Amino acid sequence: MSEQNKGIPEAEKAEADGLAQVLPTGVEGFDTILGGGLPAHHLYLIQGLAGSGKTTLACQIGFAQARLGKKVLILTLIAESHAKLLQHLRNFNFFDDTLVGENIVFYSGYTSLAEGGLRELLNFITAALNEQGAEIMIIDGFRSVRETKESELSLSEFMHSLNALVSAMGCTTFLLSPVEGNLPESENTLVDGLVELSQFHDGVRTIRELAVLKVRGGDHLLGKHAFEVCKEGIIVYPRLEAVATRTNRPAESSTAVAAFGIPSLDKLTGGGVMKGSTTNLVGSPGAGKTLMGLHFINQGLRENEKCLMLGFYESPQRVVQKAAKIGIDLSGAIESGDLEIIWNLPLEVLMDELALRILDNIDRRGVTRLFVDGIDGFLHIAIHPERIKTFATALVNELRVRNVTTFFTQELPYFKESYARAESIQSILYENIMLLGYTEIEGVNYRRLSVMKMRENEYDPAIQLLTISDKGISIGGPISSLGKKIGQSLEAAK
């Protein structure tokens, strides 16, 4: 740092040294997409059709900055009245009445625009900034500026002058415009950043999406990211695969083994699976996939590990009841916090929001075992099905990086016994794959288990007889021997 910059605020030092001061938005998830925040003292356009959330997003940023002691000017043109806007904002938790009139002030610039055009509006904005010393400005109703312009040249001159003004006065400014698309218009090309809010319709379902189309001097994630408008305001969920691509963290190798919790199966697999690995339990309905997962979780609890379950179809109460029927008591672990169950019906759930909840839970609690009962649920909630493979790749890698040993169950349709023909999300994601199904011998269906793939440790490749009793799952040896015994019995009966 240069000698002459000593003793001045860090933000000013950064700018003096040629670095842009970064303005955190305070909007959950948005700063992740922006790479930390927005370069300060720049001019930004937030666009989107009516009801997309433009005003909410801008005001949420404004209130976050006002809490830090900054002066925020909200300038309206043709938009809802200030009283109605305040009434709307009071519905959100970010709203703070004590800031209104002090750190947050409201102006109306419509009269200046209507009577004197763009030049008079610019003079009005200049006077308002000088009077208030605002560091943040929000101009709502920017459509009025476009409709009032005398020509495209006059609009370009206005945009250029406004950009120069807010930069000189150190005021980060947001323009709100009810349009969509990165259009070759003056407001799009002459702003420093462009954020678009939109809605994606899939049949009767609709989700909100946000895209940062440009940020000069920024390092933002491209593409669209889901967001929701809730009591907290706007919460953005960055696409998991986009974040994972940016971080690109490799997983460490491990030589430790995590037991299944089924002694006969542990014996067949050299003690279990490698810690930090992923296992796909795929098979027919009722073959025992969920029960195997419950044994896996119970073993982790026995070893004082923090465990997590994610389910889509069976509620936590039913899971606890199912475990109790095979002698596994999960209620105590739930009460102590050693086990938590995340449950969501696979309906209108945001895929990235659910992934964030899983990873946050793992980080917060130090989870080392995860059981996802029904990976198919992600297929059902994915509004962009083409994302499934990249999303699953990113999720699995994040789990490996955290050294979480994970079991995923996946269901085959009735009577479909071939894993090769199964509609797998991506079998190459899993270090271990086990196929559960049925074998019919003399008119009786017997459950069977096949270890199809297991990296890092040896296993018995023979198809095994799988039995379920009130003590849980056990492996009864190669199923071929069962067929021989039955054949011998039938022959003896003759």
Per-residue pLDDT tens for 80-118? 688 899 999 999 999 999 999 999 999 998 889 888 889
What is the pTM for the complete model shown? 0.86
Per-residue pLDDT tens for 188-206? 788 999 999 999 998 888 9
Per-residue pLDDT tens for 297-340? 999 999 999 999 999 999 999 999 999 999 999 999 999 999 99
Residues 6+ apart with CB under 8 A from 272: 257, 258, 259, 260, 266
Region 166-172: what's the mean pLDDT?
Answer: 95
Among candidates 455, 457, 459, 377, which has minimal Cα distance to 411?
A: 377
Contact, 142 vs 175, CB < 8 A? yes
Percent of the chain topping pLDDT 70 = 89
Neighbours of 423 (CB within 10 A): 10
- In the chain, the domains with their CATH numbers are 21-238 (3.40.50.300), 257-484 (3.40.50.300)
- What is 8-58 written as a DSSP string? S-HHHHHHHTTPPPEE----TTHHHHHTSSEETT-EEEEE-STTSSHHHHH
Percent of the chain topping pLDDT 90 = 64
At which residue do the structure tokens 């994601």 appear? 429
Contact, 218 vs 229, CB < 8 A? no
Per-residue pLDDT tens for 419-434? 544 444 556 789 999 9
Region 219-227: what's the mean pLDDT?
Answer: 94
List Cα–Cα distances, 469 to 36, 325, 345, 466, 473, in angstroms: 54, 9, 29, 10, 7
Residue 71 DSSP one-character state = -
Cα Dmax for the chain: 108
Average model confidence (pLDDT) across the chain: 88
